[in-house]
Amino acid sequence: MSVNTPHNTRNIGYTLGTAGVILILLWLGLYKFTPTEAKAIEPLVANHPLMSWLYQVRAGGLESYRAD
């Protein structure tokens, strides 16, 4: 069962969909570097059994990211 649509219509739809996904992924990826996100994941890192040691080692460098 084939829908008879011009090739340009399918190509434009594919391009818009791909651009939308890329835009959202870039937006979320850039958000990871904000002080708000650093503050939000602080309890997760501090209380995680495999990551808590890293938080204790790097805790001195995290003051610049804190939004206190």
pTM: 0.48
Task: Please indicate whether residue 36 or residue 24 has the higher confidence score (pLDDT).
Answer: 24
Q: Could you tell me the CA-to-CA distances from 68 to 47, 48, 49 in Å, in that order?
A: 20, 22, 25
- 58 pLDDT band, cuts 50/70/90, is low
Do residues 62 and 38 lie in contact, with contact meaning Cβ atoms separated by under 8 Å?
Answer: yes
Looking at residue 46, what is its pLDDT?
77
Domain definitions of the chain by residue range? 1-31, 33-68
Residue 3 and residue 35 in contact, taking contact as beta carbons nearer than 8 Å: no
What percentage of the chain carries pLDDT values higher than 70? 69
The whole-number pLDDT of residue 39 equals 84
